[in-house]
Amino acid sequence: MILSAIVTHPIPIFFIVMLIILLGPLLLNRLRIPHIIGMIVAGVVIGPFGCDVLHNDESFRIFGQVGLLYLMFLAGLEIDMYHLRLNLRRGLFFGLLTLVVPLAAGILTAIYVQKLDITASLLLGAMYAAHTLIAYPVAARYGITRAPAVIIAVVGTIIAVVGSLMVIALAVSIGHDGVINLSDVLFLLLRMALWAAALIFIYPKITRWFFRNFSDRVNQYVFIMAMVFLAAWTASLIGLEGILGAFLAGLVLNRFVPAASPLMTSIEFVGNALFIPYFLISVGMMINLRVVGNIDTLIAAGIMLAVGILAKWVPAFIVQKVNHLDPFGRKTIFGLTVAHTAVALAVVTLGNEMGLLSDTILNATILVILITCSIAPIITANAAPKLKIAMMSDDESMTRQTRVNNTLIAVSNPLTAPQLVELGVLMRNTRSHRFYAIHVRNDNSPSAKAMSANALALAKSSAAAADIAINEIERYDLNTVTGVLNALAERDITEVIVGMHRRSAVIDSFYGTKIEQLLQSTNRMVLISRIYMPLNTIGRICVAVPRSAQYESGFARWVRCLARLTRQLGCRIIFCCHPDQQPLIREIIIDGSYGIRTEFRTVESLDSLIMLTARVHEEDLLVVISAREHSVSHTDEVTELPGMLQRNYARNNLLVIYPEQFGEDPTHLTSIFHH
């Protein structure tokens, strides 16, 4: 075709693909059709079996494979590890069901209905069992990736794929040797176990070292991608599917990429804008509708569709009943696991090349791929909004936390502005917040104005990288504290975070006069931070809580604030506190449904507190709850805290919190100020 000859240059090829990615969602959203279907259909139309506008060449195969790996990597990266542990057994149970039921149904149907031998039946059963999370972007778009149903489906996918690989290895062994060679399967399992152990042990160490030494977001993104493709490559070298490596890399790197971080925003943006759509288009380009015209192919496709769809619906139904999920959870699980794509085509192609599966089965598989890839996003998109509403209505504690929190980020040092913004972002209440960045100067010289503009620009860009809007305030005032206090009153700021003062003289106090003046002049919660390393490399959060801290009006707020930070970082939090405070802290965390790993250490006095916190490691964040003078929880021991911190923790990551006093108890923290 003339058009085919024209569209061979890389630039117009890329333009056509970008046009499909752009217009597909815009047009199909009006028709209430999931955009994923549009990508696949567009691939069919422009591909070699459609209008032959573009050839399904090596570039599409490369980008398509990268998109599939990216999809599985995001599935592992976006899983909430706490909820994964809660739903792991249910996920494993579903994985066995969604492997065994389609496998058994496929084998029985192939033997008794399609009259195939045992080897061909094993391959066909493995094809039914293996599926692709092609509808996962729909779940991500609706924000339900942490729902139990989605986690169960993701875990079940990995079990099904691994089991399918074992069955394929058995079938190939029978096809070559004529007998079952279990040693090949056992050797594959051993290789997989050693490979997974190596990734789990090595990846965290390399990642923590890299993130501490290289803070540039571009470098960090490239590093993460390199780790993903290394895991996928090594998986393929030992005889596994690359998608298993990508998924495991996502799980291992999960805690280093907080959900609210700029790095996560970059990863999701690139994947959803480029690689995953490329994968969907490449799936469409593999589909040849011209081969489904004869009656034998249609009959075979009808049998295979009935078996494939029913065998995936039954496990979803059983898991729903056993685990008391709602119907929307069942539909979501079914929608995520019903689609068959590249893995199914690869299995059937292998059987065809071995002479075990006919061309009719191969052509019928193409029709199965088209139909299952079309219905999977529709089913998921139909259930996802209702599941999202159910999740929100169940979370009563979040509906109570609806007060808008005004976050002030006062930055005077451009070097520390990005980290301060990141701290505020990770601690924010995702349901209601407003951010401000302020730089206060008492000098109108060009150099002072330039520093102010630079600090505010860095703060704004750091927030924008995490998809957070921030309002800039450049202020000329008598002194820094006055400027911040005026901003507190003008913008109705609810909380303040302060950067740790750097002592400039021997007689200087630990906090410095500016912070002390700020503490005396406002009853808002003030957080004083000094963190030496990237926040996503923090190993634990150790919280030192003095006696009577529970009597302050801001007690619940700082607990929720630290719970949000812990959830984002995916680490443990250890509260060193009096026994009377432990049930109160535990109740706030449970009521907020934060799903974090919480531990308690009993302390009775400042001396025992020092002994416990002396075990704080270099990778830990020490949080000390203090109190203003004349407050309810202020004691002589609290007065000694600054000196103790200076003597024992001069080189540790430190966050000192002064709770809110006398005000009502809103839900979120946030304002940041640095000297």
* C-alpha distances in Å from residue 56, one per residue of 199, 348, 356, 369: 34, 19, 26, 17
* C-alpha distances in Å from residue 300, one per residue of 358, 359, 403, 434: 11, 11, 59, 58
CA neighbor of 42 nearest in space, from 30, 57, 53: 53
5 vs 259 pLDDT, higher one:
259
**Residue 501 confidence (pLDDT):** 67
Give the mean pLDDT of the chain: 83
Query: Mean pLDDT over residues 151-170, rounded?
Result: 87
Residue 1 C-alpha from the chain's centroid: 45
**Residue 667 confidence (pLDDT):** 38
CA neighbor of 155 nearest in space, from 101, 94, 100: 94
pLDDT tens for 574-589 read: 998 888 899 999 999 9
Whether 431 has a pLDDT exceeding 80, the answer reads no
For residue 647 the two structure tokens come to: 């003597």
CA neighbor of 295 nearest in space, from 247, 387, 360: 360
CA neighbor of 13 nearest in space, from 49, 56, 44: 56
Q: Which amino acid is located at 362 in the chain?
A: L
Rg over CA atoms, the chain:
29
Stated length of the chain: 675
pLDDT tens for 368-400 read: 888 898 899 899 989 888 888 777 665 544 444
pLDDT tens for 322-372 read: 988 889 999 999 999 999 876 777 788 778 777 788 888 888 888 888 889
CA neighbor of 343 nearest in space, from 335, 355, 351: 351
**Residue 398 confidence (pLDDT):** 46
Contact 652, 542 (CB under 8 A): no
Helices then strands, counting H and E runs in the chain, come out as 26, 11
Sign of CA dihedral 458, 459, 462, 463: negative
Q: Give the confidence band of 153 by pLDDT, cuts at 50, 70, 90.
A: very high
For residue 381 the two structure tokens come to: 């998109």
* C-alpha distances in Å from residue 401, one per residue of 519, 556, 567: 26, 12, 17
Instruction: Enumerate residues 6+ apart whose C-beta is below 8 A from 644.
Output: 606, 610
d(CA 352, CA 366): 13
d(CA 11, CA 189): 45
pLDDT tens for 549-583 read: 888 888 988 999 899 999 888 889 999 888 889 99
d(CA 361, CA 84): 38
d(CA 250, CA 246): 6
- The position carrying tokens 């000390």 is 624
Instruction: Enumerate residues 6+ apart whose C-beta is below 8 A from 425.
Output: 260, 261, 463, 466, 468
Contact 94, 321 (CB under 8 A): no
SS3 (DSSP) at 133: coil
DSSP one-letter string for 483-537: HHHHHHHHTT--EEEEEPPPP-STTS-SS-HHHHHHHHH--SEEEEEE--S-GGG
Report CA dihedral (475, 476, 481, 485) to the nearest 10 degrees: -50
DSSP 8-state secondary structure symbol assigned to residue 468: -
d(CA 175, CA 358): 15
Q: What is the 3-state secondary structure (H, E, C) of 627-661?
A: CCCCCCCCCHHHHHHHHHHHHHCCCCEEEEEECCC
CA neighbor of 98 nearest in space, from 158, 13, 42: 158
* C-alpha distances in Å from residue 337, one per residue of 328, 386, 401: 14, 19, 35
pLDDT tens for 488-542 read: 888 888 888 778 766 544 444 667 778 888 888 888 888 888 888 888 889 899 9
Contact 283, 134 (CB under 8 A): yes
Query: Mean pLDDT over residues 618-639, rounded?
Result: 83
pLDDT tens for 209-240 read: 999 888 888 899 999 999 999 999 999 898 88
